[in-house]
Amino acid sequence: MKALHTLSRSTLGLIACLAVGGLCGVFAEPAGAFAYFVGELYLCVVNMAAIPLLVVATFFGLRQVIALPRPRTRVGTIMLLALAFVVLSATGGTLAGVLAMPGQHLSAEAHAHLGELVLKNAGAEDVRVALFGQGAGTGASLIDVSDLFPDNFYRVLAQGHPLGILTGTILFGLAFAALSRDQTRMLSNVFEGVYRALETIIAQANLLIPVLVFGVAAHLTSQTQGATLTAMSSFLVCFALAALVFAGLALATIAARAGQSLPQVLSGLKAPLLVGLTSGSATAPIPHTIEAMSERLGFSRGVVELVVPFGSVFVRAGSALYYALAAVFVANLYERPLGAGEIALVCAAAVLAAFVSAGQSGVAAVGYTGVVLSMLHLPAEAAGVLFVSVDLICEGPRNALSLLAVCTVIALVSAGLPSERKTAAGLQGGAAGLSPVLRFTFTRAQLVLAAGCVTMAALLIVLMGIGVGAR
């Protein structure tokens, strides 16, 4: 356990686990498969705790943000920044694809391999996709209304649908925040206990992060075909570089707002970034992000607890970048030139796909690339085959970039002033809005004076006692 604790906090140790895991996936696949299984168990535990933590954190976040200065302006700014980052990522991804032109100069072997992959899916039955649905049709729907506005909150909570959970939580949280503290004191105490219990579970589960990194690296090297990687290398390199540039800009913004150096910010965000890179889940890094942004980087806890759950579902900057680059790659693969109108259409479609895929992850999220391709009249089955084959590689950077976009929203919305931080600290009372703890500080002269007063009072009491006894 001590070795796992040391490795989970060591960047070099985690890099070593990554390298050894990659070699293990090539030369000792059974050991890598077992480590991947253990890592999946870790993710199950974290997701189990992350979903109820999302609910409780949103309750407390709404209450504390409402009590902060200018709450309406702050909430409106959160919404606008969330939209702006998704649009910026989609635009940046489209422009990066137009400049780098991934998929344009492929070799004959690469073209043949990708064509073979697409043809393998040519016999599959077409799926009719509607923008809205009720979940009971024969075709698929991009947005299931029953999941977005659930008629049974416990159903979406049990099924783990983040969109429905967030909708129900916000409605209940607004009503919760509107009540007086006397009316909600008992419920706040219950939520505080739940909050701390979930944090303890996640803190203990974090010891398995090295095993998760090892297992994911082994799984990647054992499951990904070399020929597919070579054929898709132009897309993968372009996506990785674009994500790295956007991540660097986000980290620089967070460092500037937090008043800390870039290495300090990276150290503070190490745990959520690792979970986001390796887990394949947008909700798993929620508890780590709340702790990092509030405790380590010093931003307002109320803002953090509101934005992190909301952003994990809706601020899908990484997905917007991915969808835009994927569309440009397929267009180049089919030798479809893109004019100014098509470029703008790709940007808009990537933003739409990013928002309608909210709550989806993994292979389910890749299918929404077809939304962008269909608007360009390109074959959507290419997305279902080509990008699924490399999604294990793209999913980590995609989640990490979305996570950094959420943290950037927090950094820009939180004023970070000492007065505001004191207000937030007094409101949270540990995260539940309990009565703040009073702290007294004294100078040395004040302590000497206080000690003298106590001594004089004691002498007077003794003298009065002697006098009463003498009578």
How many angstroms separate the CA atoms of 243 and 182, rounded? 47
The two tokens of residue 141 are: 């729907």
Is residue 59 one of the residues assigned to a domain? yes
Q: Indicate whether 391 and 445 sit together in one domain.
A: no
Shortest CA distance to 405 belongs to which of 82, 90, 93? 82
Inter-residue contact 330 to 378 (CB < 8 Å): yes
Q: Indicate whether 351 and 453 sit together in one domain.
A: no
Write down the residue that tokens 């999946």 correspond to: 40
The pairs formed by 5-9 with CB atoms below 8 angstroms and a separation of 24 or more are 5/207, 7/209, 7/210, 8/206, 8/207, 8/208, 8/209, 8/210
Name the residue type at position 233: S
Q: Which residues contact 79 (CB under 8 A, 6 or more apart)?
A: none
Q: Which residues contact 418 (CB under 8 A, 6 or more apart)?
A: none
Q: Indicate whether 371 and 333 sit together in one domain.
A: yes
How many angstroms separate the CA atoms of 23 and 33, rounded? 13
For 373-407, letters b (16+ CB in 10 Å) and e give: bebbebbbbbbbbbbbbbbbbbbbbbbbbbbbbbb
Query: How many CB atoms are closer than 10 A to CB 80?
Result: 12
Rg of the chain on CA atoms, in Å: 27
Q: Indicate whether 390 and 463 sit together in one domain.
A: no
How many angstroms separate the CA atoms of 374 and 130, rounded? 12
Is residue 433 one of the residues assigned to a domain? no
Residue 125: burial class (beta carbons within 10 Å; 0-12, 13-18, 19+): exposed
Inter-residue contact 232 to 389 (CB < 8 Å): yes
The domain spanning residue 345 has which CATH number?
1.10.3860.10
Instruction: Name the strand (E) or helix (H) holding 133.
Output: strand 129-133
Half-sphere exposure of 100 (CA within 13 A, CB side): 23
Is residue 435 one of the residues assigned to a domain? no
Q: What is the pLDDT of residues 321-377, one digit of tens each?
A: 999 999 999 888 888 888 888 999 999 999 988 888 876 766 667 778 888 888 888
Inter-residue contact 212 to 42 (CB < 8 Å): yes
Q: Indicate whether 405 and 466 sit together in one domain.
A: no
Is residue 87 one of the residues assigned to a domain? yes
pLDDT in tens, the chain (471 residues): 677 667 766 777 778 888 888 888 888 888 888 888 888 887 788 777 777 877 787 777 777 777 777 777 888 888 899 899 999 999 999 999 999 888 887 888 887 877 777 776 654 444 444 444 544 444 445 556 666 677 777 677 766 666 777 777 778 777 777 777 777 778 778 877 887 888 788 777 777 878 888 888 888 788 777 777 788 888 899 999 999 999 999 999 999 998 889 989 988 898 888 888 877 677 778 888 988 898 888 888 888 888 888 888 788 899 999 999 999 998 888 888 888 889 999 999 999 888 888 767 666 677 788 888 888 888 777 666 778 778 878 888 898 999 999 999 999 988 644 434 444 444 444 444 444 444 545 566 666 666 676 676 666 665 665 655 555
Q: Indicate whether 277 and 236 sit together in one domain.
A: yes
Q: How far is CA 359 from CA 148, 164, 270, 364, in A?
A: 10, 9, 24, 10
Domain housing 157: 2-428
Inter-residue contact 378 to 334 (CB < 8 Å): yes
Write down the residue that tokens 């397929």 correspond to: 330
Is residue 434 one of the residues assigned to a domain? no
Q: Indicate whether 448 and 383 sit together in one domain.
A: no
Residue 430: strand, helix, or coil: coil
Is residue 16 one of the residues assigned to a domain? yes
Query: How many CB atoms are closer than 10 A to CB 258?
Result: 21
Instruction: Give the 3-state DSSP-derived string for 136-169, with helices as H, strands as E and coil as C.
Output: CCCCEEEEEHHHHCCCCHHHHHHHCCHHHHHHHH
Q: Indicate whether 345 and 377 sit together in one domain.
A: yes
How many angstroms separate the CA atoms of 327 and 261, rounded? 37
What total number of domains does the chain contain? 2
Is residue 388 one of the residues assigned to a domain? yes
